[in-house]
Amino acid sequence: MAQQSPIVPLLNEAYLRNGDLPVAFIDETSRSKAEHPGEKQFYVMTGVVVHPQDFEVLREDLRDIAQSDYWHTTDNLSSSSGRKKVLEMLQYLADGDEISIISHLGDSGFGDEDIEAARETTLLNLSQYLFNDLGMKLAVLERRNPKALVNRDERTFARAKRSGVVPRNTRMLQVSPSTERLLWLPDLVASAIRQELARGDHSYVNLIKEKVVFLDASRLKESNP
């Protein structure tokens, strides 16, 4: 891991208890009408599924591609040298065994609800697939700021377990990418999807399209009016 933080022992314990089962690393990208008036909005929650035996080599290889202990795909997309790194990292992901799960809520799925409601819908939709369809037990979600948003995501997942949306023996930890470098992967995929949805640029997501599963989060809303 890139650096120590108070959550590292908790994360290591979760990995140990999870054993050989894969882990989903989750991040998001979104656009709201409040941010971009007159344009279509979307919310995308992305999970990249990684097997524990590949954790260390992935962390090392991602660091080698980034040539840094810090990575944010959006920042790299602003320069030609950064874009080359983004493309290299996407190709690296495409050449591996990891799959990416995209939970997408388009403009028509928002209604009058706010962006946090869209986040909840896409996170629940993604969680259903990861924990029910794929039988996973552990996910690592990029931690937000401030603490109120961390608490909101915790409540969302707790309600999902209480209501039976996901099994009670599943777990989701909120962690910073500075603590767990594997969170660079969903940031990378989410940014590739954003380029397609916001700019119509398919060149990034096309590199990984064979390793992507797309989920329509509006179906969750329809089944839970």
Could you read off the pLDDT of 32-42 as tens digits, one per residue? 888 888 888 99
Task: Say what the pLDDT of residue 221 is.
Answer: 52
Question: pLDDT (tens digit, 9 = 90+) per residue, 74-106?
Answer: 999 999 999 999 999 999 999 999 999 999 999
Task: Say what the pLDDT of residue 36 is.
Answer: 81
Shortest CA distance to 126 belongs to which of 23, 31, 24, 20? Answer: 24
As a whole number of angstroms, the distance between CA 159 and CA 196 comes to: 32
Task: Say what the pLDDT of residue 55 is.
Answer: 98
Look up the pTM and report it. 0.94
Percent of the chain past pLDDT 70, that is, above it, reads 94
Task: Say what the pLDDT of residue 61 is.
Answer: 98
How much is the mean pLDDT over the chain?
93
Question: pLDDT (tens digit, 9 = 90+) per residue, 125-168?
Answer: 999 999 999 999 999 999 999 999 999 999 999 999 999 999 99
Question: Is residue 224 situated within a structural domain?
Answer: no
What CATH number should be reported for the domain holding residue 27? 3.30.420.10
Omega before residue 186 within 30° of 0, cis: no
As a whole number of angstroms, the distance between CA 125 and CA 103 comes to: 6
Half-sphere exposure of 135 (CA within 13 A, CB side): 2
Task: Say what the pLDDT of residue 2 is.
Answer: 45
Question: Is residue 55 situated within a structural domain?
Answer: yes
Which letter does DSSP use for residue 166 in this model? S
Question: Is residue 174 situated within a structural domain?
Answer: yes
List strands edge to edge, sheet with 138-142. 171-175, 138-142, 23-31, 42-50, 99-105, 212-216
Residue 224: pLDDT above 60? no
Domain extent for 204: 8-218
Question: Is residue 3 situated within a structural domain?
Answer: no
Residue 1: pLDDT above 50? no
Question: Is residue 108 situated within a structural domain?
Answer: yes
The pair phi, psi for residue 188, each rounded to 5°, is -60, -50
Question: Is residue 90 situated within a structural domain?
Answer: yes
Question: Is residue 20 situated within a structural domain?
Answer: yes
Question: Is residue 76 situated within a structural domain?
Answer: yes
Question: Helix or strand or coil: residue 32?
Answer: coil
Amino acid at site 210? E
Structural domains of the chain, count: 1
Residue 185: pLDDT above 50? yes
Residue 46's DSSP bridge partners are 27, 102
